[in-house]
Amino acid sequence: MNSPERMPAETHKPFTGYLWGALAVLTCPCHLPILAAVLAGTTAGAFIGDHWGVAALALTGLFVLSVARLLRAFKGRS
C-alpha cells in the first residue's frame, strides 16, 4: 500500500537513516565480545571465536559504511 516509491522523499530519508543507524550500532567493533557471546554455539559464533581479527576488520568496515550512509541520509535535514 505505501511502497517506498510512493512515499514522499522527506519520509523516506529519515526511515533509511534510522535503519543505517541501527546497523551502525549493531556492527560497532566495540560490541564484538558481546556479539561473540550472543552467537555462541552457532556457526557465526565459531567463526568469530576462531578469527577475531577478520571479524573485527569486517565489522569495522561495515560500521564505517553504515555511519557514512547515516550521515548522508540526515545531511540535508535540519
d(CA 67, CA 72): 9
pLDDT for residue 78 is more than 60: no
pLDDT given at position 66: 95
Per-residue model confidence as pLDDT tens digits over 20-73? 999 999 999 898 888 889 999 999 899 988 999 999 999 999 999 999 999 998
Binning pLDDT at 50, 70 and 90, where does residue 2 land? low
Calculate the CA 50 to chain-centre distance. 22
pLDDT at 42: 95
Q: pTM for the complete prediction?
A: 0.72
Give the CA-trace dihedral at 10, 15, 19, 20, to 10 degrees.
10
pLDDT at residue number 4:
58
